[in-house]
């Protein structure tokens, strides 16, 4: 296995990676959990900008499918709002990999999702999924700027 150093100008830091992510290693600033690596951003972007950033780093906005993943992400995101890879732009809630989201009310804040239109952000309602600081989901206008969580296989 070779040691590689990668410069990422967006982060202005050096990434350390032994081999590739397929070897089970996560780059610097990516947190390992299970078979994935997670990046918790410190920079706020719109939902689409966040998804583009993740895609540019060979990942996607986080997809949460197990209780253990939820617990890990909530533990690491406490007190902060983050974009997650959930949207209902097609009229049905689905993850960024186009798998349907099975509605689980315990994962949502009370009264959510509500597709509120009084946000003042122009045309459209709340079509993008956000992880609230309390660890539950909320729907929010996609042009809102929030931090984001990317996920990729380790």
| CB 116 within 8 Å of CB 126 | yes
Q: What class is the 31-101+108-153 domain?
A: alpha beta
Domain boundaries, the chain: 31-101+108-153
Q: If you average pLDDT over residues 59-75, what whole number do you get? A: 95
Under 8 Å between Cβ of 90 and 52:
no
- In the predicted structure, residue 117 carries a pLDDT above the cut 80: no
Residues paired with 95 in a beta bridge: 86
Q: Phi/psi at 7 (nearest 5 deg)?
A: -90, 135
HSE toward the beta carbon, residue 110, CA cutoff 13 A: 0
Question: Does the pTM exceed 0.85?
Answer: no
Q: How far apart are CA 84 and CA 71, in angstroms?
A: 14
pLDDT for 115 equals 66
- CA 52 from chain centre, in angstroms, equals 11
User: Quick one: tokens of 109?
Assistant: 């804040």
Q: Please give the pLDDT value at position 123.
A: 58
Residue 25 has pLDDT above 80, yes or no: yes
């Amino acid at each position: 296995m070779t040691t590689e150093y990668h410069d990422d100008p967006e982060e202005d830091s050096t990434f350390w990676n032994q081999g590739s992510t397929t070897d089970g290693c996560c780059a610097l600033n990516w947190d390992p959990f299970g078979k994935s690596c997670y990046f918790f951003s410190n920079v706020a972007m719109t939902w689409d900008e966040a998804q583009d950033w993740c895609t540019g780093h060979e990942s996607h906005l986080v997809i949460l499918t197990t209780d253990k993943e939820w617990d890990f992400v909530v533990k690491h995101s406490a007190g902060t709002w983050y974009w997650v890879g959930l949207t209902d732009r097609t009229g049905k809630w689905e993850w960024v990999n186009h798998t349907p989201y099975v509605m689980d009310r315990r994962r949502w804040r009370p009264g959510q999702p509500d597709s509120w239109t009084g946000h003042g952000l122009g045309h459209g309602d709340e079509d993008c999924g956000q992880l609230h600081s309390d660890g539950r989901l909320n729907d929010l206008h996609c042009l809102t700027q929030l931090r984001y969580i990317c996920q990729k296989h380790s």
